Amino acid sequence: MNTFKRFEDKDFDGALKKASTFFQVEQDELDVEILDSGSSGIFGLGGRNTIIEAGIKNQNKELVAYLESVVCKMLEFVTDKPDLSISINGNRADVVIDDTENSGLIIGKDGQNIAAFEYLINRIVSRSRPEKIYVQLDAGDYRTRQDEALKHNAKFLAEKVKESGKAQTTKPLSSYHRRLVHVELQDDAEVITRSRGEGRMKRVLIAPNKKSDEQEPQ
């Protein structure tokens, strides 16, 4: 799969531009994970750079065809020949199921069905493919709603951090969802975010930005 490299700059846009220049591709062709959202500090003092890992998105036709066959086989008792849109982003495969009539059944109550489909598909893929790839399913804009809920929770945790002065952590999140949290809170000068943990247990730590507590000079 792709080679990922680490880049840093004073902000996310700068780090992303460095990655784009290094790999000689457009920015939307990169798969990016934010490791540290950085901090602007106070009056330009005590800031930290934004740190990212980036690699080129891998559009593997053979892998896409394989995933299409697995997903269609898994869904054959729910829908006939679903219209799938599959994109490979680094180690993640995003599979969008376009089936308005059956999207509710695919998703299930509180997302239970789509989570079960996703789990089984990932078990099959992990045993059949040599590369490490994580499959994420979407149907009926379920993931969009889930993303919005995650952003809302990130803001809620940030407010708890500011009120209590104590760090908070998210539940274990995929690299895609960790990035959502980093980006959502990157402009909040009162908190900092960092990825913590290993593998699928990685979380986002949201902590007070101690530099923001320093009093303004008289």
Q: What mean pLDDT do residues 35-51 have?
A: 77
Helix spans in the chain (H): 12-23, 61-75, 103-107, 112-128, 142-164, 175-185
This prediction has a pTM of: 0.58
Residue 185 in tokens: 């809170």
Q: What is the C-alpha to C-alpha distance for residues 108 and 210, in angstroms, rounded to an integer?
A: 44
Interval 153-180 mean pLDDT: 93
* Residue range 77-100, pLDDT digits in tens: 888 878 898 888 767 888 999 888
Q: Which residues contact residue 17 at a Cβ distance below 8 angstroms, ignoring those fewer than 6 apart?
A: 9, 27
Task: Write the pLDDT tens digit of every residue in 116-154.
Answer: 999 999 999 999 988 888 899 999 989 888 899 999 999
Q: Which H or E element spans position 43?
A: none
- Answer whether residue 200 shows pLDDT above 90: no
For residue 45, the model assigns a pLDDT of 65
Structure tokens at 184: 């959502």
Q: How far is CA 180 from CA 37, 63, 89, 175, 195, in A?
A: 11, 26, 15, 9, 12
Q: What is the pLDDT of residue 43?
A: 60
pLDDT score of 3: 64
The full set of domains in the chain, from first to last, is 5-57+144-212 (3.30.1370.50), 61-140 (3.30.300.20)
